[in-house]
Amino acid sequence: MLIPTSVLGEVAAICIKGKKHTPDELHKIVDLLSRYGSQFLHPSQLVAEICYNLYSDAWRDDRMQPSDLVHLGYSLAYNVDYFITSDRNLHDFRIPEDYKLKVLTPSEAIKRFQ
């Protein structure tokens, strides 16, 4: 499993604020991800360029939050096959044809990988 550091940062912020989850839950998540051999995707020049391009007029989608586009940018830069999210806006985003990325809901991913 590949996880952008931006996703880990967003999860950490949610847990530290303590509104939906606690810092203890963050530790549990990181432990779980480590046990399954998850790899974290780090920022790079290519990630920055793709994120910048996703904000361009050619690909602009006003439904998307900036953090959504950053998560998507990591996936495109690292040429991953699947992006799993429950966020409907990300699911409906038109991926540039040059990329093989498929955006799946969790239930679609479960069906595909069973």
The pLDDT tens digits of the residues spanning 28-79 come to: 888 888 888 888 899 999 999 999 988 887 777 888 888 888 989 999 999 9
Based on the domain organization, do 63 and 30 belong to the same domain? Answer: no
**pLDDT score for 12:** 83
Same structural domain, 28 and 10: yes
Contact 7, 39 (CB under 8 A): no
Q: Are residues 62 and 72 in the same domain?
A: yes
Among 79, 70, 74, 78, smallest CA distance to 100 is for: 79
**Residues 7-32 pLDDT 10s:** 888 888 888 887 778 888 888 888 88
The closest alpha carbon to 103, from 72, 67, 63, 79, belongs to: 72
Examine the domain organization and report whether 54 and 33 are in the same domain.
no
pTM, to two decimals = 0.79
- H-helix or E-strand spanning residue 39: strand 39-41
pLDDT for residue 78: 95
What is the span of the domain harbouring residue 77? 43-114
